[in-house]
Amino acid sequence: MREAWRTWWRKAGEPDCGGAEEPAQAAHLQRGAAAEALAAQHLEGHGLRILARNVRCRGGEVDLIALDHDTVVFVEVRLRRNGRFGGAAASITATKQQRVILAAQHWLAGAGRTHARRPCRFDAVLLDALSSAHIAWLKGAFDAE
């Protein structure tokens, strides 16, 4: 009875009193981290240098920040194993774009201030599976305007 109450009372995604995360959430986070690692490896293979990963601020986040020659590239990584809801590209909504832009502005004003005068670009790396054979890289996927 006590265990059922603890599960009911806990907010979704919050660890229980023992500190263990829910297995479904942990698997989801592991897939996301693996997708980001594949994307970083793919970009590095094409000559980009990764500057930062998982940059977060209140209201925004960006998965990867890289340098492509003189251009700072903010990268959104999307893994969609099922195209039923439009696939990986369709999941980058206007709201998601605004969250990436907000995090990019935050990074350029803080940790990345040495790169603030460089040109910027917003790319997307799309994966249909956790395999380097299933990567699509969209340069200039969206704009900050």
- Note the pLDDT of residue 82: 56
The answer to whether the pTM exceeds 0.75 is yes
- Note the pLDDT of residue 79: 84
Q: What is the mean pLDDT of each run of 10 residues along the chain (145 residues)?
A: 44 46 66 90 96 94 96 92 58 88 96 95 88 85 87
C-alpha of 8 from chain center: 30
Contact between residue 103 and residue 57 where contact means Cβ atoms under 8 Å apart: yes
Would you call 19 helix, strand, or coil by DSSP? coil
**Domains present along the chain, CATH in parentheses:** 22-142 (3.40.1350.10)
Which stretch of DSSP H or E encloses residue 75?
strand 71-79
Closest to 49 (Cα-Cα) out of 71, 82, 19, 80: 71
